[in-house]
Amino acid sequence: MEISKENHRHFIIYKPYGYLSQFYTNAKKEQKKKFLGDLYKFPQNAMAIGRLDEKSEGLLLITTDGKTSDFINSQKVDKEYHVQVNGDITNTAIETLKAGVEIGFKGKKYSTQPCEAFKLQIHPEFPTRSRKIRDDRHGPTSWVSVILNEGKYRQVRKMTAAVGFPTLRLVRVRVGNIQLNEMEIGDVIEVANLNF
């Protein structure tokens, strides 16, 4: 699906680690946080589509069009994450992820929908993160691809923890047909429309 509206603006960004997926806040406790507005002069009515938490990185879409945002968040668009986990993830854990796991959400138990997941045999080469990730001296790590079309708060992190392999690094690499590709951390690209 192609969404293109006159007078609306759309952006593809590589959200860095340590940034909140919002533009400003009035909360005193968050005044020292980093926001998307620190990366680029976005329009006043811009909104992030499908937020990434502060510790997560990668592809984030920004738009001034509420209909575009609603469509992407309507569970019709796949999101793919490459996730570095603590330990050498097992086939059993992968199959459990695919079938759905029970996580906590808003103080209640929630069963995730079935999704696609597989171990990445070749570790992805992302730009170096601002905060160092522990190295293999502290035990092995592995990478897994998780593809889902729902997005509860910190869902992927909760899912990998539920199967015994806590997340060390999480990078969203795709939303629908839009991919992170060779973007660098902090890059902002304005596009005429968003294609799904």
What tokens appear for 134 in the block? 């522990």
Q: Which amino acid is it at 65?
A: D
Q: What is the pLDDT, as a whole number, of residue 14?
A: 97
E strands within 76-158?
79-86, 102-105, 108-111, 116-119, 141-148
Residue carrying the six token digits 């060390």: 168
pLDDT one-digit tens code per residue, 99-153? 999 998 888 899 999 999 999 999 999 988 877 776 666 789 999 999 998 878 8
What is the second-level CATH architecture of the domain 79-175?
Answer: 2-Layer Sandwich (3.30)
Q: What is the pLDDT, as a whole number, of residue 50?
A: 83
Q: What is the pLDDT, as a whole number, of residue 4?
A: 47
Give 119's strand partners: 144
CA distances from 14 to 59, 62, 85, 183 (A): 5, 11, 21, 7
Q: Which amino acid is it at 72?
A: I
Q: What is the pLDDT, as a whole number, of residue 63?
A: 93
> Under CATH, which number does the domain 2-74+180-195 receive?
3.30.70.580
d(CA 100, CA 80): 16
E strands within the chain?
2-3, 10-15, 19-20, 34-35, 47-49, 57-63, 79-86, 102-105, 108-111, 116-119, 141-148, 167-175, 178-179, 188-191, 194-195
Q: What is the pLDDT, as a whole number, of residue 195?
A: 74
Q: What is the pLDDT, as a whole number, of residue 143?
A: 97
Q: Do domains 2-74+180-195 and 79-175 have the same CATH topology?
A: yes
Residues of the chain with pLDDT under 50: 1-5
Q: Please, are residues 36 and 42 in contact by the beta-carbon 8 Å criterion?
A: yes
Q: What is the pLDDT, as a whole number, of residue 168?
A: 95
Active site residues: 53
The domain spans of the chain are 2-74+180-195, 79-175
- Whether the model clears a pTM of 0.85, i.e. scores above it, the answer is yes
Q: Which amino acid is it at 55?
A: K
